[in-house]
Amino acid sequence: MEPADKTPTLDDVATRAGVSTATVSRFINNPAVVAKATAERIRAAIAETGYIPNLLAGGLASSKSKMVAVLIPYLTDSIFNDTIQSMVEELSAAGTTVMLGLTGVSEARTEDLIRAALSRRVDAIIFTGPMTPTVEQMVRRSPALFIQVWDLPEDPIGIAVGFSHAAAGRDIARFLASRGYRRPHVVTASGTRARMRRDGFVGEWEASGGGVVSESAVEVPSSFGHARRIFAEIRRLPEMPDVVVCGSDYLAQGIIVEALTAGMRIPDDIAVVGFGNSSIAGEMRPTITSVEVDGARIAREAIAAIRRHGGGVKLEERWIDVGFRLVARESA
C-alpha cells in the first residue's frame, strides 16, 4: 500500500507551530519540558499536519521494525481472544514482536494507539475497531500494512479479513424458523458489528413472515453479568419469548444460568443462542448453540498478507471472506 501523499516532516510541524525543530523534538520526547502555550501549538500542528514521529531505534525510517501492532477493544469476555492468541503465537514464532493495544470504545484512545504504533514504524497494524477520519488519514499516509479483521468493510484501507455479520444474523433467523421457534428476543450490544447481525436477523425474520421481534440492548463488552437485567426484562414482557439470541456466548451462558435458577428448562421452556463459539459454549451443560468464526484462519490470512507485503509483493485481494458456521447444540 502506497502512502496517499507526501509524508509530513518535523520541519512541517515546526513551521506551522512557529518554533524550532529542536523544540518540537523536545516536546515529542517529553511534553512536560515545553511551556504550556508552546506545547498546545505543537500539539495542534501535529494534528493538522498528520505528522507521525519516528521512534524506531536509530531513526532509520527505511528499516524493518519486525513489529506488528494488534489493536482490539477489550480482552474481558472477548470473542476475539482465540483469534488474537493465534496471531500472537504465529507472529512470535516468526520472530516478530507483537504490540497489543486495548482501544476500549474511545475514539481518542484508538487514535493515540494508532499514532503510537506508526511512530514505532510497525510493519503492520491488525485492527478490529471502528474507523475515524483521523485514523484513516494516518494509516493512508503510512507504508505499514493496515488489516481490518472480523469485518468486511466496503472500502478497506489496506485489506480486510473477516465475514458478513448481516449474513450471520440471517442464518440464525433461518435456523430458528426451521426449528419451529416463533417468539425470538434479540439482545444487541452497542457496536457496529452487533447491529449488523441484529439487522440481518430482524430483516430475515420479518421477510419470512415471522412475528414481532422483542429486543434488549447492552453496552460493550457484553458479559455474563448483563444477563440478570436482561432476563428480568424478558420476564416482564407480555409474552415470554421462546428463544433468546445473544451477541456472545458469555451473555448466553448468563441467560441460561438465570433461566435454570428460575426453574425453567433449556430449551423446552426457553432456548438460547450465543455467538463466537467460545470454549465455554461446548463445555457447559447444557451446551450452547453458537456461531463459529474460524479465528485461526483469520490469523493465518493476516500473517500471510504481512509476509507478502514485507516481501514487496502487491496485495491484489482486498477482501478475504473466512465465512462462519452455525453450531447447533443443546440450548436451541
Read off the pLDDT of residues 22-61 as tens digits, 9 standing for 90 and up: 888 888 777 788 899 898 998 888 888 878 776 554 444 4
- At position 227, the amino acid (one-letter code) is A
Q: Is residue 60 part of a domain?
A: no
- Whether 206 is in a domain gets the answer yes
Same domain, 132 and 210: no
Tell me, what CATH number does 4's domain have? Answer: 1.10.260
Q: Check whether residue 11 and residue 92 sit in a common domain.
A: no
Task: Count Cβ atoms below 10 Å from residue 264 Cβ, excluding itself.
Answer: 16
CB count in 10 Å sphere of residue 328? 12
pLDDT at 314: 86
**Domain check: are 74 and 86 in the same one?**
yes
Q: Is 271 in the same domain as 225?
A: yes
Model confidence pLDDT, tens digit, residues 161-208:
999 999 999 999 999 999 999 999 999 988 889 999 999 999 999 999
Together in a domain, 102 and 192: no
User: Does residue 212 register a pLDDT over 90?
Assistant: no
Give which of 125, 115, 117 is closest to 146, Cα–Cα.
125
Whether 61 is in a domain gets the answer no
Same domain, yes or no: 153 and 301: yes
Mean pLDDT of 57-76: 69
| Residue at grid coordinates 500471510 | 304
Whether residue 331 is contained in a domain is answered as no
Domain count, the chain: 3
Q: How many CB atoms lie within 10 A of CB 205?
A: 24
Give the residue carrying C-alpha cell 475515524: 132
Give the distance, in angstroms, between the CA of residue 263 and the centroid of all CA atoms in the same chain.
Answer: 36
Kindly state whether residues 280 and 302 are assigned to the same domain.
Answer: no
* 238 inside domain: yes
Write the CATH number for 213: 3.40.50.2300
The listed range with the strongest mean pLDDT (64-68, 83-87, 235-239) is: 235-239
Which pLDDT does position 6 carry in this prediction?
67
Over 90: is that where the pLDDT of 86 sits? no
Q: Are residues 282 and 303 in the same domain?
A: no
Whether 128 is in a domain gets the answer: yes
* 284 within some domain: yes
Per residue in 100-124, pLDDT tens?
888 887 888 898 899 989 988 899 9
**How distant, in Å, are the alpha carbons of 118, 219, 235 from that of 14?**
20, 42, 62
Element of type H or E holding 35: none
d(CA 146, CA 130): 13
Grid cell for residue 111: 487514535
Are both 79 and 3 inside the same structural domain?
Answer: no
User: Burial level of 244, CB count in 10 A (0-12/13-18/19+)?
Assistant: buried
Domain region containing 10: 1-51
pTM, rounded to two decimals: 0.79
Q: Is residue 188 assigned to a domain?
A: yes
Give the pLDDT of residue 73. 84
Query: What contacts 24+ positions apart, CB below 8 Å, involve 64-67?
Result: 64/123, 64/310, 65/97, 65/120, 65/121, 65/122, 65/123, 66/95, 66/96, 66/97, 66/123, 67/96, 67/97, 67/98, 67/99, 67/120, 67/121, 67/122, 67/123
